[in-house]
Homo-oligomer: A and B are copies of this chain.
Amino acid sequence: MAILRGNAVVGQSGGPTAAINATLAGVIKGALTEKSGAIETLYGMRNGVQGLLTEDLVDLSAMFTKDSAFDEDKFELLKQTPAAALGSCRKKLPDPEKDPAFFDGLIEIFKRHNIRYFFYIGGNDSMDTVAKLTKYLATSDYEMRCVGVPKTIDNDLVGTDHTPGFGSAAKYIAATMQEIIRDCSVYKLPAVTIVEIMGRDAGWLTASAALTGRICGVKPDYVYLPERIFDADAFIEDVKRALETKFAVVIAVSEGVRFADGRYVGEGTQSGVADVFGHKYLAGTGKALEQMVKEKVGCKVRSVELNICQRCASHIASGTDIEESVRTGMTAAASAVNGATGVMVCAVRSEGDYSIDFETKEIASIANAIKTVPESYINEAGNDITDACIDYILPLIQGEVATKYEMGLPVHLTI
């Protein structure tokens, strides 16, 4: 295949993670150190396609070159920086068949900057962007290659063993659960602590809360994933049973659990909470369960929402995740130069001892699908995970990052 020479553009989209910049660092390193020299200049789009449309581009080749060589120091700092350094967006592209003019406009922009490579780091919606752009390019005579680069703490992309960003979020959650269980166990008083964890449609992050059982012997007493219907009566029975043998009961629950009728537990309608304006009060799942325990059990109860720290706590990122995120980005650059387009970079796990290889898969089969936690990873009662689930997640949180600190805090890179 002839070498396609020209410039490249990379963007980040969707919710930030602790590892999305490590993936960006991988794309930059892959593009700047690629042997054939096919990629002349790598641009970054600010705020994803939103910045592409306004031609708000930053010259990453210049920024990451120092004394005519790749700037390894900046590379290391970008790897340990949380959130999307290029900025993000949540823009959904139109259907190419319904709005070809939109894509004609995009191609004019690509032509103006001689952009021949398009890398887009993101989750489901971002893969949809890559799929649509690829689809349109197939009908155009402008030669350009588009590669999707996965990221999401939710681990809900199909086609790949796991997603960059998930391992770091899982490590943060497991480490924090271990600390919270210690914290809650100091008093000789019955007390229930409910920890609400992200993941509206898939329970991967909530499942990670139970890793501690394998590692250090302490674990949440129950784990409720959105893959199972939430039964309030069974939950209260679970809590009461646990309180019979111990003081501190700790529960991990997904923000996305629903009742049998489809309502989210966190909708707050259960207790009819509303403010003076009649606005329904979205209490959150943890708060809703806290109220249930208060009313039906009556002991001390508290809820903790791990909130956005789950996706931005780069100070305790997984070494495995950060290294794989870099490799994912580098694979994207290499694959595109070698001719790949309309694909996403996917992780393939080896049999036996854990190791990961990367390959590319057709993006059309990946975009807009959701990978949930399989039945075999959840116990029969629906209140815990199985050993098979721990076997799957545990390798992803291994290893620590040698974070650079200055004046007491981790150093971040601003692009």
Q: Which residues of A contact B (CB under 8 A)?
A: 12, 16, 47, 50, 81-84, 87-90, 171, 174-176, 178-180, 182-188, 211-212, 214-216, 271-277, 281, 291, 295, 302, 304-305, 307-309, 311-316, 318, 394, 397-400, 405-412
Contact B179 A88 (CB under 8 A): no
Given contacts A82-B182, A89-B187, A171-B408, 15 further A-B contacts (CB under 8 A): A50-B188, A82-B179, A83-B179, A83-B182, A174-B408, A174-B409, A178-B410, A178-B412, A179-B315, A214-B407, A215-B409, A271-B277, A309-B309, A316-B316, A398-B407
Question: Considering the chains assembled together, what is the distance between the CA atoms of A308 and B412 in angstroms?
Answer: 26
A318 to B47, CA, bound (A): 35
Complex Cα spacing A89 to B409, Å: 33
Contact A409 B175 (CB under 8 A): yes
Distance A1 CA – B348 CA, assembled complex (angstroms): 72
Bound form: Cα–Cα A272–B412 in Å: 42
Is there contact, CB below 8 Å, between B183 and A83?
yes
Please determine whether A188 and B47 come into contact, CB atoms closer than 8 angstroms. yes
> Given A398-B407, A407-B398, A186 and B88 touching (CB < 8 A)?
yes
A88 touches B187 (CB 8 A): yes
Number of copies: 2
28 A-B residue pairs with Cβ-Cβ distance under 8 Å, sorted by A, are A12-B186, A47-B188, A82-B182, A83-B182, A84-B186, A87-B186, A90-B187, A176-B309, A178-B412, A180-B308, A180-B309, A211-B408, A214-B407, A215-B406, A216-B406, A216-B409, A271-B275, A271-B277, A272-B276, A273-B281, A275-B291, A281-B281, A302-B308, A304-B305, A304-B307, A316-B316, A394-B408, A397-B408
Q: Across the interface, which residues of B come within 8 angstroms of A82, CB to CB?
A: 179, 182-183
> Do residues B408 and A398 form an inter-chain contact, with CB atoms below 8 A?
yes
Nearest B residue to A294 by beta-carbon distance?
B279
Tell me what chain A mostly uses at the interface: helix, strand, loop, or mixed.
mixed
Chain B nearest CB from A21 CB (Å) reads: 9
Q: In the complex, which residues of chain B have a beta carbon less than 8 angstroms from the beta carbon of A400?
A: 405
How far is it, in angstroms, between the C-alpha of A400 and the C-alpha of B410 when the chains are bound? 10
Task: Assess whether A409 is in contact with B304, with CB atoms less than 8 Å apart.
Answer: no
A-B residue pairs, 8 tightest by C-beta = A272-B276, A83-B182, A183-B312, A397-B408, A88-B186, A179-B312, A271-B275, A84-B186
Shortest Cβ distance from A89 into chain B, in angstroms?
A: 7
Q: Is the CB of B314 within 8 A of A179?
A: yes
**Min CB gap A312→B, angstroms:** 4
Known: A89-B188, A188-B87, A275-B291. Is A312-B174 also a contact (CB below 8 A)? no
Tell me the smallest distance from the CB of A255 to a CB of chain B, in Å.
13
